[in-house]
């Protein structure tokens, strides 16, 4: 046994025999293959995260606290995760116990008047949305979709998604948290700490929400969050989504005050201009360049396949070459999807008229091909519920995102030099060349998916260039790795630095274990402000004195140490 | 096929966890969002399709062995196929249900079986039924019924009663009603009586491929000898076995109907008139093997190819069994034809229905898990305000009857046939 | 003196003052905190001078009290709590570093005031959401860093909005830029790449800017900040929804918040609205009589696309909503017209400061809660005032929904005559007893000035412990405004 026998026995005493296991096959279910999605490193063919020492299913904050205290006593690393969909939630080292937060799945309360919910770790977006909708409310669903944990996104991971321009980034939406800190003490952040409710995450005085997370969270490396208060938003639609259709072509006909469009633009400048106009006038409920993840050349075919239950992926080549589909692709080349939601008939009418004005001013259009009923109803449901996000992997089973071009819309859509090619087209051309090698799906170079607004009200976004491959195929996987390495190099040459494809190299290395210190330090030292990570080291030493997390929480030693 | 033939699937599983839930578009509440009874009950990831992919891969790679825990993981699954549907909403290249069955074949080959299953199989080999009852008593349900025995005289349509309906005292009347209704509608109906044997569907689900093949071959041989061309069954397991497994594994061509399809047709053709009022608010439970697994069989023999460099497709075009074309409407249409019946739907229906808990031989091997699963469904039925839960499979009905009785609930349990009988 | 000489070794002596009158002006404020004279006042002329001052303070163990707004101050945070403190007055740092219309963001130094910024923003077609009639010399950065409530709930996605990026000089002397700007190696290069300092989070996995929020300068000094602006509204109208009781307005306000209609949205009682309208004491008194007891103020604005139409349909819809709750949306109420109130709230407070309510001083008790609880707190404050013999009719109430309606700022404004010793003494008692009673009722003093610090931290031992540990990280020498909060 990798952890002391008496420790295992004590852990079993805490959660009960039915809720702990160290069976090797069970433990292997808690290993993530590094050929897979949203981990922004690799892919590394047939490399897995380390096997845990045990997996536990705690059922309450008290159990979590007891576990963490025990881990401190025996100096055992622990790693919590809710839905386990990314390598971020898995151990970096041997002898780590995995906490599966599945049993803590309650919605503690929904305060309908003040528009917030208090949830446990395993409440997924689809469930919170369904319950909120009964009360005329909605929740932000972050990019990976509604199968993911709201708490995890808000406290520990990223947090932006298609509805962010209206419903905020989950970092903004977190208004309270209950946190079993890595030292075993429980902190309730904000008003909840004073027993006054969950309505505010800040204070008294300096906001400890700043300790919970920054641009991203600690990825489960600094304790366990057991409750989160999540801000909710208005939903002027039906109490239950009226979903019909045969799988996979589910669709919903919603009342006229909720409308979905795909917008196309004649140039990238026009595309960017439209984003700013939307934000200036606060129009839009959901806005995201979503379907482009299938690739510029294939998205027309894919939306047709997905919205027709008689079609399968087998039809993609024929459909992609069909003239009607090509027309659709052309119309959608510089596109994004938008949902308008009006609180009243006058509200939706104004918003739609205003959108038409924006389109007129920018030379854009509503893509007519996406307006025919099946596609319209399908895309509306898709964007509201975001329940199809493993479509990221539809082609061959593997995907990851390259580049990023994060920042203002002007950054991604403009050229580095006057008269040059917009960055978005530069990376498209670059990827198109690599597609010719055969290891990644030939989707048209531009697989860039991203939000129209990476924070509430808009402001910036991210262009994740979807790269699809087959994780079962060695050449494909290794070819994808080669491509990502080339993307990083391209980014360095272009001055924007390595992109999303290398985001987690600082934490996990090619063998699935912690990145060697010299490499880790080199990566973090190259950041604009390494000082931030030195402060994080102090924070870690203070609040995680036995270092029971892992390198996902970024730290740098002081120079000279 | 062998377990290693699913290695590509195992490596392509992206660990998204969709397999645990109903299709996310259909989530309507916290209470009834779950799709997979196995992980809902047991909680460890291993008890989901995603988990079983990982377990299978671990075994193949020699990283683990078949422990009692692995046996538990493999068999504590009702093979309901909810994971298969949920996966296929977005993934076109995964067959988790097939893989789960393959795991069972693998364990049976290795002799890693459950004593409860062993007991059943040994009995089936001797007595040809799942009920641990003597073969000689199989036809007792039809005593006094004026109906042809097809092994003695030909009939236009064979009614296959199935093991559960043949022996279960509470459900025999349903089988008798089925025959009576079909006769009244002018159908030239016959039964096998004591010569009927298990369809083998459950045997297949338990992992006993060879036993299934023997049973199926035996059944097909008897049918051929008796000149049977059309089979109607009131058992969803039987329907699945005859319409999906028999052609697939035996190349048999039989016209197979579930009784609800047949009744629906008779009603729409005016051959069966339902006149008496049955004032009842009911909700309908889609049996897994009639609903999402009740899609028509499409023969296919092909291979995986790649297009656009790395898009995995199959040549020729492979049928995509994702529950889209299961038998959902005929039972509902039959119920709606009954005067006085008010049909209300549960949250999880059709291809995303919650399982009754009986399947995969879980009722026999894991009665607590099976009972819990059924109780969940009863809870869901009660939430609709229905007075009765109606199904189209005797296994579902037995599990519901037991669950209702265990809780002292007042919810009634019917088969569609029972209500049609009341309406005649 | 030795200290002055030491400090003069790191900044120009011209920036340092030990003039008694000057020191006296920082020794006390309008609050009841114990006066304490600082040893020196240093007024940096450039933000580049700040790190050296902080480093010096750390090295010498000198308490440092940051001030960014002009006098008078009123919350006790700028008055030293310990002797031998040095005031670092940033009010002279008045550079507006950048206004970016397209990205609706402005970058300002710590001493930039609201009127200064709004004037420049207007030229670019922008406007910043402001607090309710801030003082003309109020620092924008200080106001936002201290989490002062602003008037437009629907643009507050983040609780600290419109504050975005910051530059912080921590008590340990290190400099950190937070938010998007924290990921840049060069601002000029970033602007060439058309980037903007618009995102507030990070860098990394801590939101460092939240540590200095409502910290009363006890962890670090913010030298500049970027702020998210709105497009200058045109047309811009203000409406009144009067009511007899505050309770009567709540459902209406909740509905407006739910619809995300309206720009400005807040509730005043007659006393506070009369004070906003201002004027001589007699006029304020007369207005208090004339105005409705309670009023919700609703701003409706159009921006660049179909502005007139937007205003028109929102007017109609909001009027309909008001009707549903038995209320009326009106362009005027007895005593107040839309034009004059809108003018008032779009501008800083004239002097004397509006909260004086026609008297010569005031105290304020404010906290966070949820809108539905505000009537309970009004009842509590009223009861305490009655018990202390303070005229209930004089209590100004200001309720400001925040964070798109998730919580609200609830404020009681208590004008009085400072020159009258009995009134002053009574006010001190009222302030203390009122604060205690409101705390018992469930008030969340998220900005714990003065005595509220003790009250707030006594309720939350764990937060107190964690804050002290944070203090140990960012201000290990304990020089930043010691004695404030729980430090």
pLDDT for B63: 95
Mean pLDDT, range A162-172, rounded to an integer? 96
Nearest to A226 by CA among A131, A409, A50, A103: A103
The yes-or-no verdict on residue C53 having pLDDT over 80 is yes
Do the strands A54-56 and A96-100 form a parallel or antiparallel pair, or are they unpaired?
parallel
Chain A residues with CB under 8 Å of B43 CB are 19, 57, 100, 102-103
- Min Cα separation A316/chain C (Å): 38
Q: Tell if the CB–CB gap between C459 and A194 is shorter than 8 Å.
A: yes
Band (pLDDT 50/70/90 cuts) for residue B252 is confident
Q: Is A476 touching B (CB cutoff 8 A)? A: yes
Q: Tell if the CB–CB gap between B55 and A28 is shorter than 8 Å.
A: yes
Band (pLDDT 50/70/90 cuts) for residue A560 is low
pLDDT for A38: 66
Question: Testing the interface with A: which of B6, B19, B27, B321 to mutate, by most A Cβ within 10 A?
Answer: B27
Instruction: Pick the residue from chain B with its C-alpha nearest to A145.
Output: B24
Indicate the residue of A202, A234, A459 with minimum beta-carbon distance to C159: A202
Q: Is A308 touching B (CB cutoff 8 A)? A: no
Q: Tell if the CB–CB gap between B89 and A248 is shorter than 8 Å.
A: yes
CA dist A297 → A338, A447, B228, C79 (Å): 21, 9, 53, 66
Report the distance separating Cα A331 and Cα A452, nearest Å.
19
| Residues C194, A452, A138: CA angle, nearest 5 degrees | 145
Indicate the residue of A25, A129, A147 with minimum beta-carbon distance to B55: A25
Q: Is C260 touching A (CB cutoff 8 A)? A: yes
pLDDT > 70: what percent of chain C? 100
Nearest to A26 by CA among C78, B47, B90, B123: B47
Indicate the residue of C196, C305, C463 with minimum beta-carbon distance to A357: C305
Q: Is A204 touching C (CB cutoff 8 A)? A: yes
Residues 6+ apart with CB under 8 A from B251: none
Interchain contact C/A (3 or more Cβ pairs less than 8 Å)? yes
Nearest to B49 by CA among B89, B91, B6, B95: B95
DSSP-assigned letter for residue C55:
H
Question: Testing the interface with A: which of B19, B70, B110, B310 to mutate, by most A Cβ within 10 A?
Answer: B310
pLDDT tens digit sequence for B71-94: 999 999 999 999 999 999 999 889
Q: Tell if the CB–CB gap between A36 and B15 is shorter than 8 Å.
A: yes
pLDDT tens digit sequence for B2-61: 999 999 999 999 899 999 999 999 999 999 999 999 999 999 999 999 999 999 999 999
Q: Specify which residues B391 forms β-bridges with.
A: B415
Reported ipTM: the value is 0.97
Chains that touch C (3 or more CB pairs under 8 A): A
pLDDT for B397: 98
Band (pLDDT 50/70/90 cuts) for residue A154 is very high
Indicate the residue of B13, B16, B43 with minimum beta-carbon distance to A102: B43
Q: C12 burial class (0-12, 13-18, 19+ CB within 10 angstroms)?
A: exposed
Chains that touch B (3 or more CB pairs under 8 A): A
Q: Is C41 touching A (CB cutoff 8 A)? A: no
Q: Which long-range contacts (CB under 8 A, 24 or more apart) does C67-70 make?
A: C67/C26, C67/C91, C67/C217, C68/C110, C68/C111, C68/C139, C68/C141, C68/C142, C69/C113, C69/C135, C69/C137, C69/C138, C69/C139, C69/C142, C69/C143, C70/C113, C70/C135, C70/C136, C70/C137, C70/C138
The yes-or-no verdict on residue A431 having pLDDT over 80 is yes
- Min Cα separation A54/chain C (Å): 28
- Min Cα separation A390/chain C (Å): 27
Mean pLDDT, range B326-336, rounded to an integer? 98
Q: Tell if the CB–CB gap between B313 and A124 is shorter than 8 Å.
A: no
pLDDT for A2: 78
pLDDT for A558: 85
Chain A residues with CB under 8 Å of C310 CB are 281, 350, 354
Mean pLDDT, range B263-274, rounded to an integer? 96
Chain A residues with CB under 8 Å of C161 CB are 456
The yes-or-no verdict on residue B351 having pLDDT over 80 is yes
Q: Is A551 touching C (CB cutoff 8 A)? A: no
Chain A residues with CB under 8 Å of B4 CB are none
The 3-state secondary structure of chain B, one letter per residue: CCHHHHHHHHHHCCCCCHHHECCHHHCCCCCCCECCHHHHHHCCHHHCHHHHHHHHHHHHCCCCCCCHHHHHHHHCCCCCCHHHHHHHCCCCCCCHHHHHHHHHHHHHHCCCCCHHHHHHHHHHHHHCCCCCCCHHHHHHHHCCCCCEECCCCCCCEEEECCHHHHHCCCCHHHHHHHHHHHHHCCCCEEECHHHCCCCCHHHHHHCCHHHHHHHHHHHHHHHHHHCCCEEEECCHHHHHHHHHHHHHHHCCCCEEEEHHHHHHHHHHCCCCCCCCCCCEEEEECCCCCCCCCCCCCCCCCCEEEEECCCEEEEECCCCCCCCCCCCCHHHHHHHHHCCCEEECCCCCCHHHCCCCCCCCCHHHHCHHHHHHHHHHHHHHHHHCCCCEEEECCHHHHHHHHHHHHHHCCCCEEEEHHHHHHHHC
Considering only residues 343 to 362 of chain C, which have any Cβ-Cβ distance to chain A shorter than 8 Å?
A: none
- Min Cα separation A416/chain B (Å): 32
Interchain contact A/B (3 or more Cβ pairs less than 8 Å)? yes
CA dist B103 → B60, B91, B96, B107 (Å): 11, 21, 10, 6
Average pLDDT, chain B: 96
**Would you state the torsion angle of the CA atoms of residues B366, B372, B375, B376, taken in this order, to the nearest 10 degrees?**
-130
Q: Quick one: how far is CA A179 from the chain centroid?
A: 22
Indicate the residue of C176, C444, C466 with minimum beta-carbon distance to A191: C444
pLDDT for A451: 83
Q: Which long-range contacts (CB under 8 A, 24 or more apart) does B109-113 make?
A: B110/B66, B112/B66, B112/B70, B112/B71, B113/B71, B113/B207
pLDDT > 90: what percent of chain C? 98
The yes-or-no verdict on residue A76 having pLDDT over 60 is yes
Band (pLDDT 50/70/90 cuts) for residue B248 is confident
Chain C residues with CB under 8 Å of A362 CB are none
pLDDT tens digit sequence for C420-470: 999 999 999 999 999 999 999 999 999 999 999 999 999 999 999 999 999
Q: Tell if the CB–CB gap between B310 and A84 is shorter than 8 Å.
A: no
CA dist C65 → A211, A437, C2, C446, C477 (Å): 24, 63, 19, 21, 14
pLDDT for A488: 96
Q: C70 burial class (0-12, 13-18, 19+ CB within 10 angstroms)?
A: middle
Considering only residues 122 to 181 of chain A, which have any Cβ-Cβ distance to chain C shorter than 8 Å?
A: 136, 168-169, 171-172, 175
Mean pLDDT, range B105-128, rounded to an integer? 96
A·C CB contacts under 8 A: 318
Q: Is C457 touching A (CB cutoff 8 A)? A: yes
pLDDT tens digit sequence for B373-388: 999 999 999 999 999 9
pLDDT tens digit sequence for C60-102: 999 999 999 999 999 999 999 999 999 999 999 999 999 999 9
Q: C123 burial class (0-12, 13-18, 19+ CB within 10 angstroms)?
A: exposed
Q: Tell if the CB–CB gap between A276 and C102 is shorter than 8 Å.
A: yes
Q: Is A446 touching B (CB cutoff 8 A)? A: no
Mean pLDDT, range C134-159, rounded to an integer? 97
Indicate the residue of A25, A252, A398 with minimum beta-carbon distance to B70: A25
- Min Cα separation C308/chain A (Å): 11
pLDDT for A462: 85
**pTM of the entire structure?**
0.98
Q: Is C204 touching A (CB cutoff 8 A)? A: yes
The yes-or-no verdict on residue A39 having pLDDT over 90 is no
The yes-or-no verdict on residue C1 having pLDDT over 80 is no
Q: What share of chain A is helix, strand, coil (3-state, %, to 5)?
A: 40, 20, 40
Chain A residues with CB under 8 Å of C104 CB are 279-280
List the structure tokens of B387.
């007075």
The yes-or-no verdict on residue B162 having pLDDT over 60 is yes
Instruction: Pick the residue from chain B with its C-alpha nearest to A316.
Output: B307
Indicate the residue of B91, B93, B311 with minimum beta-carbon distance to A441: B311
Report the distance separating Cα B390 and Cα B379, nearest Å.
14
Report the distance separating Cα C113 and Cα C104, nearest Å.
18
Report the distance separating Cα A141 and Cα A387, nearest Å.
10
Mean pLDDT, range A151-167, rounded to an integer? 96
pLDDT > 90: what percent of chain A? 95
Q: Tell if the CB–CB gap between A203 and C212 is shorter than 8 Å.
A: no
CA dist C335 → C151, C343, C420 (Å): 22, 15, 30
Whether the CB-CB separation of C214 and C147 falls below 8 Å is answered with yes
What is the end-to-end Cα distance of chain B in Å, rounded? 48
């Amino acid at each position: 046994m990798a952890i002391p026998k008496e420790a295992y026995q004590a852990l079993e005493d805490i959660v009960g025999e039915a809720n702990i296991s160290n069976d090797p096959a069970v433990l292997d279910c808690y290993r993530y293959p590094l050929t897979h999605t949203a981990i922004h490193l690799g892919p590394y063919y047939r490399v897995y995260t380390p096997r845990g020492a045990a997996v536990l299913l705690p059922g309450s904050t008290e159990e979590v606290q007891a576990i963490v205290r025990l881990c401190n006593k025996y100096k055992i690393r622990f790693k919590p995760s809710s839905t386990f969909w990314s390598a971020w939630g898995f151990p970096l080292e041997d002898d780590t116990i995995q906490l599966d937060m599945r049993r803590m799945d309650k919605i503690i309360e929904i305060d309908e008047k003040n528009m917030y919910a208090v949830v446990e770790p395993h409440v997924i977006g689809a469930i919170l949305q369904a319950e909120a909708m009964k009360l005329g409310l909605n929740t932000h669903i972050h990019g990976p979709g509604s199968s993911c944990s709201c708490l995890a996104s808000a406290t520990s991971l990223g947090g932006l998604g298609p509805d962010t321009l209206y419903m905020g980034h989950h970092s903004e939406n977190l208004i309270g948290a209950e946190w079993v800190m890595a030292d075993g003490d429980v902190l309730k952040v904000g008003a909840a700490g004073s027993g006054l409710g969950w309505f505010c995450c800040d204070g008294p005085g300096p906001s400890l929400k700043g300790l919970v997370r920054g641009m991203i969270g600690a990825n489960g490396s600094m304790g366990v969050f057991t409750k989160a208060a999540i801000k909710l938003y208005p939903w002027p639609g039906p109490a239950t989504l009226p979903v019909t259709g045969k799988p996979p072509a589910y669709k919903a006909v919603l009342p006229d005050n909720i409308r979905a469009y795909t917008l196309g633009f004649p140039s990238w400048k026009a595309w960017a201009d439209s984003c700013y106009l939307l934000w200036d006038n606060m129009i839009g409920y959901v806005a995201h360049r979503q379907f482009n993840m299938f690739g510029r050349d294939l998205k027309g075919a894919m939306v047709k396949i997905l919205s027709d239950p008689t079609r399968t992926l087998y039809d993609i080549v024929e459909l992609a070459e069909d003239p009607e589909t090509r027309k659709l692709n052309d119309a959608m080349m510089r596109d994004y999807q938008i949902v308008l939601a009006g609180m009243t008939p006058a509200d939706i009418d104004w918003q739609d008229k205003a959108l038409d004005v924006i389109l007129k001013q920018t030379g854009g259009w509503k893509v007519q091909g996406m307006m025919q009923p099946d596609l319209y109803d399908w895309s509306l449901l898709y964007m509201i519920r975001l329940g199809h996000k493993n479509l990221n992997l539809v082609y061959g089973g593997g995907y990851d995102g390259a580049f990023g071009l994060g920042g203002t819309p002007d950054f991604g859509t403009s050229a580095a030099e006057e008269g040059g090619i917009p960055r978005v087209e530069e990376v498209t051309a670059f990827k198109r060349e690599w597609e010719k090698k055969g290891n990644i799906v030939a989707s048209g170079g531009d697989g860039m998916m991203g939000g129209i607004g990476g924070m509430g009200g808009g402001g910036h976004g991210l262009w994740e260039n979807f790269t699809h491959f087959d994780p079962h195929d060695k050449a494909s996987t290794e070819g994808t790795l080669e491509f990502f390495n080339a993307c990083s190099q391209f980014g360095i040459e272009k001055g924007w630095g390595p992109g999303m494809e290398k985001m987690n190299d600082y934490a996990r290395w090619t063998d699935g274990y912690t990145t060697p210190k010299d490499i880790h330090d080199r990566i973090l030292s190259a950041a604009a402000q390494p000082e931030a990570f030195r402060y994080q080291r102090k924070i870690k030493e203070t609040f995680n004195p036995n270092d029971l997390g892992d390198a996902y929480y970024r730290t740098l030693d002081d120079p000279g140490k | 096929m062998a377990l290693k033939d699913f290695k590509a699937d195992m490596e392509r599983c992206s660990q998204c966890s969709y397999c645990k839930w109903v299709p996310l578009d259909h989530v309507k509440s916290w209470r009834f969002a779950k799709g997979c009874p196995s992980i809902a009950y047991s909680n460890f990831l291993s008890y989901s399709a995603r988990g079983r992919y990982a377990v299978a891969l671990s075994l193949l790679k020699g990283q683990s062995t078949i422990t009692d825990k692995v046996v538990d993981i493999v068999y504590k699954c009702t093979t309901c196929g909810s994971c298969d549907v949920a996966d296929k909403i977005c993934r076109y290249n995964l067959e988790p249900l097939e893989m789960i069955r393959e795991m069972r074949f693998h364990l049976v080959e290795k002799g890693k079986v459950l004593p409860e299953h062993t007991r059943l199989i040994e009995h089936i080999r001797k007595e040809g039924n799942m009920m641990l009852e003597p073969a000689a008593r199989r036809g007792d349900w039809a005593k006094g019924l004026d109906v042809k025995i097809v092994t003695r005289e030909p009939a236009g349509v064979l009614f296959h009663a199935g093991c559960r309906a043949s022996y279960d005292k509470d459900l025999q009347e349903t089988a008798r009603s089925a025959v009576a209704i079909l006769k009244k509608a002018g159908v030239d109906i016959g039964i096998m009586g004591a010569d009927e044997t298990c369809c083998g569907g459950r045997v297949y689900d338990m992992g006993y491929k060879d036993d299934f093949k023997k049973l199926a071959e035996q059944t097909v041989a008897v049918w051929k000898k008796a000149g049977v061309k059309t089979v109607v069954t009131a058992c969803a397991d039987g329907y699945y076995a005859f319409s999906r497994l028999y052609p697939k594994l035996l190349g048999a061509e039989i016209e197979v109907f579930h009784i609800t399809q047949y009744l629906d047709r008779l009603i729409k053709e005016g051959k069966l008139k339902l006149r008496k009022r049955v004032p009842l608010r009911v909700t309908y439970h889609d049996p897994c093997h009639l609903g999402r697994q009740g899609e028509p069989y499409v023969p296919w023999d092909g291979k995986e190819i790649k297009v656009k460099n790395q898009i995995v497709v199959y040549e020729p075009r492979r049928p995509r069994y994702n529950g889209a074309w299961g038998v959902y409407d005929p039972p509902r249409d039959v119920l709606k034809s009954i005067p006085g019946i008010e049909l209300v739907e549960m949250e999880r229906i059709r291809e995303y229905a919650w399982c009754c808990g009986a399947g995969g031989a879980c009722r026999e091997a894991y009665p607590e898990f099976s009972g819990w699963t059924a109780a969940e469904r009863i809870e869901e039925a009660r939430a609709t305000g229905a007075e009765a839960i109606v199904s189209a499979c005797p296994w579902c009905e037995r599990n519901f009857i037991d669950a209702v009785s265990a809780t002292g609930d007042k919810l009634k349990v019917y088969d569609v046939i029972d209500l049609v009988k009341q309406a005649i | 003196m030795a200290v002055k000489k030491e400090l003069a070794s790191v900044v120009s002596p011209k920036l340092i003052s030990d003039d008694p009158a000057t020191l006296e002006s920082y020794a006390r404020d309008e609050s009841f905190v114990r006066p304490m004279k600082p040893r020196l006042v240093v007024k940096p002329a450039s933000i580049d001078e700040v790190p050296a001052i902080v480093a010096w303070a750390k090295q010498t163990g000198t308490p440092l009290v940051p001030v960014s707004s002009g006098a008078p101050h009123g919350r006790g945070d700028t008055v030293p709590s310990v002797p031998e403190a040095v005031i670092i007055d940033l009010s002279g740092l008045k550079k507006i570093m950048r206004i970016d219309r397209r990205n609706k963001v402005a970058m300002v130094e710590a001493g930039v005031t609201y009127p200064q910024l709004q004037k420049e923003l207007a030229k670019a077609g922008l406007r910043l959401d402001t607090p309710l009639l801030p003082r003309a010399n109020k620092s924008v950065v200080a106001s936002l860093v201290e989490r002062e409530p602003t008037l437009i709930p629907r643009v507050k996605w983040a609780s600290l909005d419109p504050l975005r990026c910051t530059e912080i000089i921590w008590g340990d002397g290190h400099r950190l830029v937070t938010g998007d700007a924290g990921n840049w190696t060069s601002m000029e290069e970033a602007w060439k790449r058309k980037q903007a300092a618009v995102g507030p989070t990070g860098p990394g996995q801590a939101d460092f800017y939240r540590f200095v929020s409502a910290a009363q300068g006890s962890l670090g000094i913010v030298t500049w900040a970027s702020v998210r602006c709105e497009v200058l509204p045109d047309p811009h109208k203000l409406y009144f929804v009067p009511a007899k009781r505050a309770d009567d307005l709540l459902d209406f306000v909740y509905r407006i918040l739910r619809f995300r209609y309206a720009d400005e949205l807040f509730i005043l009682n007659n006393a506070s609205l009369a004070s906003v309208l201002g004027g001589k004491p007699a006029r304020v008194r007369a207005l208090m009589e004339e105005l409705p007891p309670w009023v919700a103020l609703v701003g409706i604005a159009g921006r660049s696309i179909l502005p007139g139409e937007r205003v028109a349909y929102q007017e109609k819809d909001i009027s309909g909503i008001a009707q549903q709750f038995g209320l009326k949306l009106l362009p005027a109420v007895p005593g107040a017209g839309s034009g004059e109130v809108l003018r008032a709230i779009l501008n800083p407070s004239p002097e004397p400061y509006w909260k004086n309510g026609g008297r010569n001083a005031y105290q304020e008790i404010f906290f966070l809660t949820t809108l539905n609880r505000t009537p309970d707190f009004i009842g509590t404050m009223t009861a305490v005032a009655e018990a202390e013999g303070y005229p209930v009719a004089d209590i100004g109430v200001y309720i400001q929904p925040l964070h798109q309606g998730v919580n609200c700022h609830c404020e009681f404004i208590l004008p009085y005559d400072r020159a009258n010793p009995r009134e002053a003494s009574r006010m001190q008692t009222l302030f203390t007893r009122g604060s205690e009673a409101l705390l018992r009722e469930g008030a969340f003093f998220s900005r714990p000035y003065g005595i509220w610090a003790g009250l707030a931290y006594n309720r939350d031992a764990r937060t107190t412990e964690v804050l002290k540990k944070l203090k140990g990280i960012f201000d290990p020498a304990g020089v930043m405004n010691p004695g404030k909060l729980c430090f």
